[in-house]
Structure 1
Amino acid sequence: MSSDADDPTHPVDQARRLAAEWFPDALSAVLAGSTVSGRATTTSDLDIAVLIEDGGETRRETVRFEGRLVELFIHTRAGLDELFAADTVSRRGVMQRMYADGLVLSERDGAAARIKRHAEDALREGPGALAPATVESRRYVLTDALDDLADTADVVERLAVAAVVLSTAADLLFDHCRAWTGGGKWLPRRLLEADPGRGGALLDGYRRLCEYGEPEEFADAAAEILTLAGGPLREGYARTWRAAPEPHPSAPPG
């Protein structure tokens, strides 16, 4: 990716200066996110993954550099292995995508290139299938939410229920496609990557409900995904409570 030599505020140039000034001894520094994907705006932050020598601290840090907000993902080799593992469990593949799609700002001895190949392999392999009990739980939640969506006439309640339908149906579609998930703005992007037809129908229906208060297309799209996962689940469903494990403290959201 080229930058405008006459514009010192170009985000790629700023990222290179930050890497050179703050992490001159890093094994590698990689710029990722909207700046690399072409979605950046004038207010977009910089997402930079920094590989440091063993013995350092794996952490995430938000800073400001030359007036621009920067999200730093700093890690050792062992720390990166842990982050890759955590992102595989969460099914989001955040760090894997940063390295697979990112722009190398600096590296020593081909460190960034090796991680890039590893990240690309992991992304191609995809996340594992959800446990049957988890799929069953998602089916139950989506069945209940679709019933609530049909029953409620209150606008605010309908929008709240629709958010549950969207996230749960998305989880089931990602699992059906063995695709990586996403949160926030990445949810619709990942849905369209995973299944442009069904994912697009779900998003179009959600937008129609939000804009015009018409839930029918949204409900139909979610019901189709529910069918892929095994269909509605009401009576007969049972579960045993288990404490959820604590998330890894350095794992970034995605």
Structure 2
Amino acid sequence: MTSDLDIPVLVGDGGETYRETVRFEGRVVELFVHTPSGLADLFAADVRARRGVLQSMYATGLVLADRDGAAGRARALAETDLRAGPPPLDPATVETTRYGLTDALDDLVDAADRAERLAVAGSVFDAAANLLLDHHRAWTGTGKWLPRRLLQADPRRGAALIDGHLRVGASGEPAWLAEAASEVLALTGGPLREGYRRTWQGAIESIAAAGR
């Protein structure tokens, strides 16, 4: 098994909050060491990022030791955050993502080069996933967690996006992904071209990064 083992460790307020990778008996282990105040800060950051990664770790993990009830209190806080769900994307971000997805869908269908089509498919998948998860006020994720969160939030539409993305990689055919992403776009306000305007705010916005 090559996947690492994630172990949160709670220490007192006089300690330090940090993350460390070690190897134990041949297994890679990720230690997430938190003070109570450090954990509260990280929980708040994960909520703002709409990911809820640490909350999921604390809410679903196996408690190995809990001498003073700290693990139980941390689990309760994590469960409260997860039940509340992530904050919604602000309207400007939704609009920007819709505009970017509309443009990327055109590129996906028009791309003659297979490598370019595959690259564009990644942007389409990410943007549609962000819109769909926001529509359901569901937690997002990166890497292996993104398809998992999609299937949890919307089994049918999430599966369609995943299947469409896989088909682009396997055969180069974009039709299934384009159809799945277009359905998500229609669900979240529809395509956006004419009428879109965004005032420069000092940062370049990316449809792939929206909401992360």
TM-score, normalised by the number of residues in structure 1: 0.78
* Structure-2 separation of matches of 1:215 and 1:141: 17
- Greater C-alpha Rg: 1
User: Residue 113 in 1 paired to residue 72 in 2?
Assistant: yes
Q: Which residue of 2 aligns with 1:25?
A: none
Q: Which residue of 2 aligns with 1:99?
A: 58
Q: What one-letter code is carried by the residue in structure 1 that aligns with 2:140? A: T
Q: CA deviation at 1:167?
A: 0.4
* Structure-2 separation of matches of 1:145 and 1:104: 45
**Structure 1 stretches (4+) deviating beyond 6 angstroms?**
none
Q: Which residue of 2 aligns with 1:213?
A: 172
Q: What one-letter code is carried by the residue in structure 2 that aligns with 1:206? A: H
* Structure-1 separation of matches of 2:182 and 2:117: 16
Q: Which residue of 2 aligns with 1:184?
A: 143
**TM-aligned CA distance change 1:242 to 1:49, over 3 Å:** farther
User: Residue 81 in 1 paired to residue 44 in 2?
Assistant: no
User: Residue 130 in 1 paired to residue 89 in 2?
Assistant: yes
Q: CA deviation at 1:124?
A: 1.1
Residues 140-172 of structure 1: CA deviation (Å, up to 9, x unaligned): 110110010011110000000000000000000
Q: What one-letter code is carried by the residue in structure 2 that aligns with 1:141? A: G
- Give aligned-pair identity as a percent: 67
* Structure-2 separation of matches of 1:45 and 1:243: 38
Q: CA deviation at 1:217?
A: 1.1
Equivalent of 2:22 in 63, 73, 80: 63
Q: What SS is found at the alignment partner of 2:16?
A: coil
Q: CA deviation at 1:243?
A: 4.8
The count of aligned residue pairs is 204
Q: Which residue of 2 aligns with 1:199?
A: 158
Q: What SS is found at the alignment partner of 2:116?
A: helix
* Structure-1 separation of matches of 2:20 and 2:107: 41
Residues 109-143 of structure 1: CA deviation (Å, up to 9, x unaligned): 22111211221121111001110001001101101
Q: What SS is found at the alignment partner of 2:65?
A: strand
Q: What SS is found at the alignment partner of 1:105?
A: coil
Q: Which residue of 1 aligns with 2:209?
A: none
Unaligned runs of 5+ in 2: 204-211
Q: Which residue of 2 aligns with 1:154?
A: 113
Quick one: higher RCO (CA 8 Å, sep 6+), 1 or 2? 2
Equivalent of 2:31 in 33, 47, 72: 72
Unaligned runs of 5+ in 1: 1-41, 245-253
